[in-house]
Structure 1
Amino acid sequence: MGSAEERSGVLRQDEFEDLARHAAQTNKALRLEHLNGKLGVKPVPDGDHETIIEWLSRLCIQARTDWWLATGIGLRVEKYRGGNARPDGVLAPSGAFAGQGEWAESEGVFMAVEVTSFDSDTNRRDRVEKPAAYAAVSIPVYLLIDRQKGEVQVHSEPDGGRYQQVVTVPYGKSVHLPDPVGFELDTEDLKNWIG
Protein backbone atom coordinates (compact mmCIF):
# COMPACT_ATOMS: atom_id res chain seq x y z
CA MET A 1 0.00 0.00 0.00
CA GLY A 2 1.46 3.38 -1.04
CA SER A 3 1.54 6.68 0.76
CA ALA A 4 -1.63 8.72 1.33
CA GLU A 5 -0.59 10.94 -1.59
CA GLU A 6 -0.27 7.95 -3.94
CA ARG A 7 -3.62 6.51 -2.80
CA SER A 8 -5.39 9.84 -3.41
CA GLY A 9 -4.38 9.81 -7.08
CA VAL A 10 -2.15 12.89 -6.88
CA LEU A 11 0.80 12.69 -9.23
CA ARG A 12 4.26 13.30 -7.85
CA GLN A 13 6.53 15.68 -9.76
CA ASP A 14 8.74 12.87 -11.12
CA GLU A 15 5.70 10.79 -12.14
CA PHE A 16 4.23 13.68 -14.08
CA GLU A 17 7.51 14.46 -15.84
CA ASP A 18 7.87 10.80 -16.91
CA LEU A 19 4.27 10.77 -18.17
CA ALA A 20 4.73 14.05 -20.08
CA ARG A 21 7.95 12.81 -21.68
CA HIS A 22 6.28 9.57 -22.77
CA ALA A 23 3.23 11.43 -24.13
CA ALA A 24 5.45 13.79 -26.17
CA GLN A 25 7.37 10.85 -27.64
CA THR A 26 4.13 9.12 -28.59
CA ASN A 27 2.34 12.19 -29.98
CA LYS A 28 4.32 15.38 -30.74
CA ALA A 29 1.13 17.47 -30.58
CA LEU A 30 0.28 16.32 -27.04
CA ARG A 31 1.58 18.79 -24.45
CA LEU A 32 0.71 17.99 -20.85
CA GLU A 33 0.56 20.30 -17.85
CA HIS A 34 0.07 19.56 -14.16
CA LEU A 35 -1.57 22.41 -12.27
CA ASN A 36 -3.42 22.56 -8.99
CA GLY A 37 -3.07 18.80 -8.61
CA LYS A 38 -4.77 18.16 -11.97
CA LEU A 39 -3.45 16.77 -15.21
CA GLY A 40 -4.30 18.90 -18.25
CA VAL A 41 -3.62 19.03 -21.97
CA LYS A 42 -2.36 22.28 -23.47
CA PRO A 43 -3.97 22.95 -26.86
CA VAL A 44 -1.83 23.00 -29.99
CA PRO A 45 -1.48 26.66 -31.06
CA ASP A 46 -3.03 27.95 -34.26
CA GLY A 47 -1.41 30.33 -36.77
CA ASP A 48 -2.66 33.56 -35.13
CA HIS A 49 -1.49 32.32 -31.73
CA GLU A 50 2.01 31.67 -33.08
CA THR A 51 2.04 35.03 -34.90
CA ILE A 52 1.27 36.82 -31.62
CA ILE A 53 4.19 35.06 -29.91
CA GLU A 54 6.48 35.96 -32.84
CA TRP A 55 5.35 39.61 -32.62
CA LEU A 56 5.95 39.73 -28.86
CA SER A 57 9.33 38.04 -29.22
CA ARG A 58 10.49 40.76 -31.62
CA LEU A 59 9.37 43.49 -29.21
CA CYS A 60 11.20 41.88 -26.29
CA ILE A 61 14.44 41.59 -28.29
CA GLN A 62 14.12 45.22 -29.40
CA ALA A 63 13.80 46.24 -25.74
CA ARG A 64 16.87 44.22 -24.68
CA THR A 65 19.10 42.18 -26.97
CA ASP A 66 20.27 40.00 -24.06
CA TRP A 67 16.71 38.72 -23.42
CA TRP A 68 14.95 35.81 -25.05
CA LEU A 69 11.26 34.92 -25.19
CA ALA A 70 11.58 31.15 -25.04
CA THR A 71 8.73 29.00 -26.34
CA GLY A 72 8.12 25.35 -25.59
CA ILE A 73 10.01 25.38 -22.29
CA GLY A 74 8.23 23.84 -19.32
CA LEU A 75 8.40 25.47 -15.90
CA ARG A 76 8.17 23.91 -12.47
CA VAL A 77 5.52 25.87 -10.58
CA GLU A 78 3.48 25.56 -7.38
CA LYS A 79 6.06 25.20 -4.65
CA TYR A 80 4.04 23.08 -2.26
CA ARG A 81 2.01 20.68 -4.43
CA GLY A 82 4.43 20.41 -7.30
CA GLY A 83 3.23 21.52 -10.68
CA ASN A 84 4.35 21.92 -14.25
CA ALA A 85 3.20 24.55 -16.74
CA ARG A 86 4.09 25.18 -20.36
CA PRO A 87 3.75 28.93 -20.86
CA ASP A 88 3.38 30.13 -24.43
CA GLY A 89 6.40 32.32 -23.77
CA VAL A 90 8.94 32.74 -20.99
CA LEU A 91 11.02 35.94 -20.93
CA ALA A 92 14.41 35.42 -19.33
CA PRO A 93 18.06 36.32 -19.93
CA SER A 94 19.43 34.65 -23.04
CA GLY A 95 20.84 31.23 -22.10
CA ALA A 96 18.93 31.06 -18.80
CA PHE A 97 17.61 27.56 -19.51
CA ALA A 98 20.85 25.97 -20.68
CA GLY A 99 21.34 22.59 -19.05
CA GLN A 100 17.92 22.54 -17.33
CA GLY A 101 16.16 19.96 -19.47
CA GLU A 102 12.50 19.95 -20.40
CA TRP A 103 11.25 21.34 -17.06
CA ALA A 104 13.14 24.40 -15.86
CA GLU A 105 13.09 26.15 -12.53
CA SER A 106 11.29 29.50 -12.60
CA GLU A 107 14.05 31.39 -10.81
CA GLY A 108 15.37 34.20 -13.03
CA VAL A 109 12.25 34.34 -15.22
CA PHE A 110 11.11 37.94 -15.83
CA MET A 111 7.73 37.23 -17.38
CA ALA A 112 5.43 34.34 -18.26
CA VAL A 113 3.16 34.82 -21.28
CA GLU A 114 -0.07 33.08 -22.22
CA VAL A 115 -2.17 33.64 -25.34
CA THR A 116 -5.68 32.28 -24.96
CA SER A 117 -6.87 29.43 -27.15
CA PHE A 118 -10.42 28.73 -28.16
CA ASP A 119 -11.02 25.70 -25.97
CA SER A 120 -13.26 24.97 -22.99
CA ASP A 121 -10.42 25.08 -20.42
CA THR A 122 -9.15 28.58 -21.26
CA ASN A 123 -10.97 30.37 -18.45
CA ARG A 124 -9.83 27.99 -15.72
CA ARG A 125 -6.32 27.47 -17.05
CA ASP A 126 -5.18 30.89 -18.33
CA ARG A 127 -7.28 33.24 -16.18
CA VAL A 128 -7.29 31.37 -12.84
CA GLU A 129 -4.72 28.57 -12.44
CA LYS A 130 -1.79 30.03 -14.37
CA PRO A 131 -1.70 33.40 -12.58
CA ALA A 132 -1.88 31.63 -9.22
CA ALA A 133 0.90 29.20 -10.18
CA TYR A 134 3.19 31.90 -11.59
CA ALA A 135 2.63 34.16 -8.57
CA ALA A 136 3.35 31.25 -6.20
CA VAL A 137 6.87 30.94 -7.64
CA SER A 138 7.34 34.75 -7.74
CA ILE A 139 7.50 35.31 -11.50
CA PRO A 140 7.44 39.14 -11.51
CA VAL A 141 5.11 39.65 -14.50
CA TYR A 142 2.39 37.51 -16.05
CA LEU A 143 1.14 38.75 -19.43
CA LEU A 144 -2.18 37.36 -20.65
CA ILE A 145 -3.13 38.12 -24.24
CA ASP A 146 -6.82 37.30 -24.29
CA ARG A 147 -8.09 36.73 -27.82
CA GLN A 148 -11.68 35.99 -26.75
CA LYS A 149 -12.02 39.27 -24.86
CA GLY A 150 -9.77 41.36 -27.15
CA GLU A 151 -7.74 42.59 -24.20
CA VAL A 152 -4.39 42.31 -22.49
CA GLN A 153 -3.90 41.74 -18.77
CA VAL A 154 -0.64 42.54 -17.02
CA HIS A 155 -0.29 40.87 -13.61
CA SER A 156 2.51 42.07 -11.33
CA GLU A 157 3.69 42.23 -7.71
CA PRO A 158 3.40 38.52 -6.86
CA ASP A 159 2.56 37.78 -3.24
CA GLY A 160 2.17 34.11 -2.40
CA GLY A 161 -0.42 32.63 -4.72
CA ARG A 162 -1.70 35.84 -6.28
CA TYR A 163 -0.64 39.00 -8.07
CA GLN A 164 -1.42 42.21 -6.20
CA GLN A 165 -1.67 44.37 -9.34
CA VAL A 166 -3.66 43.56 -12.47
CA VAL A 167 -3.98 46.10 -15.29
CA THR A 168 -6.36 45.35 -18.15
CA VAL A 169 -6.46 47.24 -21.45
CA PRO A 170 -8.36 46.59 -24.68
CA TYR A 171 -6.44 45.85 -27.85
CA GLY A 172 -5.21 49.11 -29.34
CA LYS A 173 -4.09 50.70 -26.06
CA SER A 174 -0.57 50.80 -24.66
CA VAL A 175 0.23 49.18 -21.34
CA HIS A 176 3.36 49.34 -19.21
CA LEU A 177 5.09 46.04 -18.48
CA PRO A 178 6.53 46.63 -14.99
CA ASP A 179 10.11 45.95 -13.92
CA PRO A 180 12.09 43.87 -14.46
CA VAL A 181 10.55 43.90 -17.97
CA GLY A 182 10.13 47.68 -17.97
CA PHE A 183 8.80 48.75 -21.36
CA GLU A 184 5.59 50.04 -22.94
CA LEU A 185 3.64 47.49 -24.95
CA ASP A 186 1.59 49.00 -27.79
CA THR A 187 -1.19 46.47 -28.42
CA GLU A 188 -2.54 47.98 -31.67
CA ASP A 189 -1.15 45.11 -33.81
CA LEU A 190 -3.11 42.56 -31.78
CA LYS A 191 -6.29 43.73 -33.54
CA ASN A 192 -5.01 41.81 -36.58
CA TRP A 193 -5.13 38.46 -34.73
CA ILE A 194 -8.29 38.44 -32.65
CA GLY A 195 -9.23 35.06 -34.13
Structure 2
Amino acid sequence: MTPTGARAQMSTEEFEELARNAPELVRLEFIQGKVQVKPVPDGYHSEIVAWLLTVCMQQRPELFLYPERGLKVEKYRSGRARPDGLLAPKRSLGGQGEWADPAGVLMVVEVTSRDRDANARDRVEKPAGYAAAGIPVYLLIDRDEPSVVVHAEPEEGRYLAVTKRPFGAEVELPEPVGITLATEGLKEFAE
Protein backbone atom coordinates (compact mmCIF):
# COMPACT_ATOMS: atom_id res chain seq x y z
CA MET A 1 0.00 0.00 0.00
CA THR A 2 1.09 3.55 -0.64
CA PRO A 3 0.93 6.41 1.89
CA THR A 4 -2.43 7.43 0.36
CA GLY A 5 -3.83 3.91 0.74
CA ALA A 6 -3.91 3.10 -2.99
CA ARG A 7 -2.34 -0.10 -4.25
CA ALA A 8 1.17 0.28 -5.71
CA GLN A 9 1.48 -0.23 -9.47
CA MET A 10 4.28 -2.74 -8.92
CA SER A 11 6.82 -3.85 -6.34
CA THR A 12 10.03 -1.97 -5.72
CA GLU A 13 11.98 -4.85 -7.25
CA GLU A 14 9.86 -4.75 -10.42
CA PHE A 15 10.39 -0.99 -10.67
CA GLU A 16 14.17 -1.34 -10.29
CA GLU A 17 14.19 -3.88 -13.13
CA LEU A 18 12.12 -1.56 -15.30
CA ALA A 19 14.40 1.42 -14.52
CA ARG A 20 17.52 -0.66 -15.31
CA ASN A 21 16.16 -1.52 -18.74
CA ALA A 22 14.70 1.88 -19.66
CA PRO A 23 16.29 3.77 -22.57
CA GLU A 24 18.86 6.39 -21.52
CA LEU A 25 16.57 9.24 -22.57
CA VAL A 26 13.96 8.16 -20.01
CA ARG A 27 14.47 8.81 -16.31
CA LEU A 28 12.08 6.88 -14.10
CA GLU A 29 11.11 7.36 -10.46
CA PHE A 30 8.83 5.37 -8.14
CA ILE A 31 7.03 7.79 -5.83
CA GLN A 32 4.08 6.83 -3.60
CA GLY A 33 3.69 3.52 -5.41
CA LYS A 34 3.49 5.08 -8.89
CA VAL A 35 5.98 4.98 -11.75
CA GLN A 36 6.74 8.49 -12.93
CA VAL A 37 8.73 9.71 -15.91
CA LYS A 38 11.00 12.58 -14.96
CA PRO A 39 11.49 15.10 -17.76
CA VAL A 40 14.91 15.37 -19.36
CA PRO A 41 16.38 18.69 -18.19
CA ASP A 42 16.66 21.67 -20.51
CA GLY A 43 19.71 23.94 -20.69
CA TYR A 44 18.55 26.41 -18.02
CA HIS A 45 17.77 23.51 -15.67
CA SER A 46 21.31 22.20 -16.13
CA GLU A 47 22.78 25.68 -15.58
CA ILE A 48 20.94 25.99 -12.26
CA VAL A 49 22.28 22.64 -11.05
CA ALA A 50 25.81 23.62 -12.16
CA TRP A 51 25.48 26.98 -10.34
CA LEU A 52 24.37 25.25 -7.14
CA LEU A 53 27.15 22.66 -7.41
CA THR A 54 29.71 25.50 -7.61
CA VAL A 55 28.20 27.34 -4.61
CA CYS A 56 28.21 24.17 -2.51
CA MET A 57 31.82 23.37 -3.38
CA GLN A 58 32.92 26.91 -2.53
CA GLN A 59 31.17 27.07 0.84
CA ARG A 60 31.37 23.42 1.95
CA PRO A 61 34.32 21.76 0.16
CA GLU A 62 34.00 18.62 2.29
CA LEU A 63 30.60 17.96 0.68
CA PHE A 64 29.60 17.17 -2.88
CA LEU A 65 26.38 17.81 -4.77
CA TYR A 66 25.81 14.58 -6.67
CA PRO A 67 23.61 15.28 -9.73
CA GLU A 68 20.91 12.81 -10.79
CA ARG A 69 21.76 10.19 -8.15
CA GLY A 70 19.20 7.45 -7.44
CA LEU A 71 17.89 7.56 -3.85
CA LYS A 72 15.71 5.33 -1.68
CA VAL A 73 12.84 7.39 -0.26
CA GLU A 74 9.55 7.10 1.60
CA LYS A 75 8.75 4.88 4.54
CA TYR A 76 10.62 1.57 4.51
CA ARG A 77 12.63 2.91 1.51
CA SER A 78 10.04 1.52 -0.92
CA GLY A 79 10.16 4.64 -3.12
CA ARG A 80 12.87 5.51 -5.60
CA ALA A 81 13.67 9.09 -6.62
CA ARG A 82 16.28 10.70 -8.81
CA PRO A 83 16.71 14.19 -7.37
CA ASP A 84 18.40 16.82 -9.51
CA GLY A 85 21.02 17.08 -6.76
CA LEU A 86 21.89 15.23 -3.58
CA LEU A 87 24.25 16.89 -1.07
CA ALA A 88 26.31 14.50 1.05
CA PRO A 89 29.84 14.14 2.40
CA LYS A 90 32.35 13.32 -0.33
CA ARG A 91 32.85 9.60 -0.94
CA SER A 92 29.81 8.65 1.14
CA LEU A 93 27.90 7.01 -1.73
CA GLY A 94 30.57 4.57 -2.88
CA GLY A 95 29.49 0.94 -3.08
CA GLN A 96 25.77 1.68 -2.71
CA GLY A 97 24.63 0.69 -6.18
CA GLU A 98 22.12 2.62 -8.28
CA TRP A 99 19.76 3.52 -5.39
CA ALA A 100 21.56 5.03 -2.39
CA ASP A 101 20.33 4.91 1.18
CA PRO A 102 19.37 8.39 2.45
CA ALA A 103 21.38 8.04 5.68
CA GLY A 104 24.00 10.78 5.64
CA VAL A 105 22.28 12.81 2.91
CA LEU A 106 22.08 16.42 4.09
CA MET A 107 19.95 17.89 1.31
CA VAL A 108 18.12 16.99 -1.88
CA VAL A 109 17.51 19.49 -4.66
CA GLU A 110 14.83 19.67 -7.33
CA VAL A 111 14.59 22.24 -10.10
CA THR A 112 11.15 22.51 -11.66
CA SER A 113 10.77 21.48 -15.28
CA ARG A 114 8.31 22.89 -17.74
CA ASP A 115 5.76 20.09 -17.57
CA ARG A 116 2.24 19.62 -16.28
CA ASP A 117 3.26 17.21 -13.51
CA ALA A 118 5.71 19.61 -11.80
CA ASN A 119 3.20 20.76 -9.18
CA ALA A 120 2.25 17.30 -7.92
CA ARG A 121 5.74 15.85 -8.28
CA ASP A 122 8.03 18.63 -6.98
CA ARG A 123 5.71 20.50 -4.59
CA VAL A 124 3.67 17.66 -3.06
CA GLU A 125 4.96 14.12 -3.61
CA LYS A 126 8.72 14.72 -3.43
CA PRO A 127 8.64 16.73 -0.16
CA ALA A 128 6.57 13.98 1.46
CA GLY A 129 8.95 11.25 0.27
CA TYR A 130 12.09 13.12 1.24
CA ALA A 131 10.68 14.03 4.68
CA ALA A 132 9.64 10.40 5.28
CA ALA A 133 13.22 9.37 4.46
CA GLY A 134 14.47 11.80 7.12
CA ILE A 135 16.45 14.04 4.76
CA PRO A 136 17.13 17.25 6.73
CA VAL A 137 16.70 19.78 3.89
CA TYR A 138 14.77 19.75 0.62
CA LEU A 139 15.60 22.67 -1.68
CA LEU A 140 13.16 23.43 -4.50
CA ILE A 141 14.30 25.89 -7.14
CA ASP A 142 11.00 26.85 -8.70
CA ARG A 143 11.30 28.37 -12.17
CA ASP A 144 7.51 28.66 -12.55
CA GLU A 145 7.18 30.98 -9.55
CA PRO A 146 10.72 32.38 -9.69
CA SER A 147 11.52 31.40 -6.13
CA VAL A 148 13.61 29.24 -3.86
CA VAL A 149 11.73 27.09 -1.37
CA VAL A 150 13.57 25.59 1.60
CA HIS A 151 11.92 22.68 3.42
CA ALA A 152 13.49 21.73 6.78
CA GLU A 153 12.76 19.90 10.03
CA PRO A 154 11.34 16.60 8.71
CA GLU A 155 8.86 14.93 11.00
CA GLU A 156 6.34 12.16 10.34
CA GLY A 157 6.48 12.44 6.55
CA ARG A 158 6.39 16.22 6.25
CA TYR A 159 8.63 19.22 6.69
CA LEU A 160 7.61 21.47 9.59
CA ALA A 161 9.53 24.53 8.35
CA VAL A 162 9.00 25.85 4.81
CA THR A 163 10.50 29.16 3.67
CA LYS A 164 9.93 30.68 0.25
CA ARG A 165 12.03 33.55 -1.16
CA PRO A 166 11.96 35.16 -4.62
CA PHE A 167 14.88 34.88 -7.01
CA GLY A 168 17.27 37.67 -6.05
CA ALA A 169 16.96 37.19 -2.29
CA GLU A 170 19.67 35.83 -0.06
CA VAL A 171 18.63 32.37 1.15
CA GLU A 172 20.04 30.62 4.22
CA LEU A 173 20.08 26.83 4.05
CA PRO A 174 19.76 25.61 7.66
CA GLU A 175 22.08 23.19 9.42
CA PRO A 176 23.31 20.62 8.72
CA VAL A 177 23.76 22.27 5.29
CA GLY A 178 24.86 25.72 6.48
CA ILE A 179 25.15 27.38 3.06
CA THR A 180 24.02 30.86 2.00
CA LEU A 181 22.67 31.27 -1.52
CA ALA A 182 22.86 34.64 -3.27
CA THR A 183 20.13 33.97 -5.82
CA GLU A 184 20.29 37.09 -8.01
CA GLY A 185 21.87 35.07 -10.82
CA LEU A 186 18.88 32.71 -10.95
CA LYS A 187 16.74 35.44 -12.52
CA GLU A 188 18.28 34.80 -15.94
CA PHE A 189 17.26 31.12 -15.75
CA ALA A 190 13.60 31.74 -14.89
CA GLU A 191 12.56 31.80 -18.56
Instruction: Tell me, yes or no, whether TM beats 0.5.
Output: yes
Residue pair 2:8, 2:34 contacting (<8 A) in 1 also? no
SS at match of 1:166: strand
In structure 1, the partner of 2:18 is 19
* Match 2:180 to one of 173, 178, 184: 184
* Match 2:170 to one of 149, 174, 179: 174
Name which one, 1 or 2, has greater alpha-carbon Rg: 1
Give the AA of the match of 2:14.
E
> Comparing 128-137 with 73-82, which one deviates more in the overlay?
73-82
Supply the distance in 2 between the matched residues of 1:72 and 1:12 (Cα, whole angstroms). 22
Using the size of structure 2 for normalisation, the TM-score is 0.94
In structure 2, the partner of 1:72 is 68
Give the AA of the match of 2:92.
A
* Match 2:54 to one of 55, 58, 64: 58
Give the AA of the match of 2:79.
G
| Gaps in structure 1 of 5+ consecutive residues | none
Moved over 6 A (4+): none
Alignment of 1:72-91 (within 5 A): 72-80=68-76, 82-91=78-87
Aligned residues: percent identity?
A: 55
Residue pair 1:37, 1:81 contacting (<8 A) in 2 also? no
* Match 1:133 to one of 129, 136, 139: 129
Residue pair 2:8, 2:33 contacting (<8 A) in 1 also? no
Deviation at 1:81, TM superposition (A): 7.2
What is the CA deviation profile of residues 76-104 of structure 1, one whole-angstrom value per residue up to 9, with x for unaligned ones? 10124710000000000011110111111
What is the CA deviation profile of residues 97-125 of structure 1, one whole-angstrom value per residue up to 9, with x for unaligned ones? 10111111111000000000000100000
C-alpha root-mean-square deviation of aligned residues, in Å?
A: 1.5
SS at match of 1:28: coil
The answer to whether structure 1 residue 104 and structure 2 residue 100 are counterparts is yes
SS at match of 2:75: coil
Residue pair 2:59, 2:179 contacting (<8 A) in 1 also? yes
| Gaps in structure 2 of 5+ consecutive residues | none
Residue pair 1:13, 1:82 contacting (<8 A) in 2 also? yes
Residue pair 2:131, 2:159 contacting (<8 A) in 1 also? yes
How many positions carry a matched residue from both structures? Answer: 187
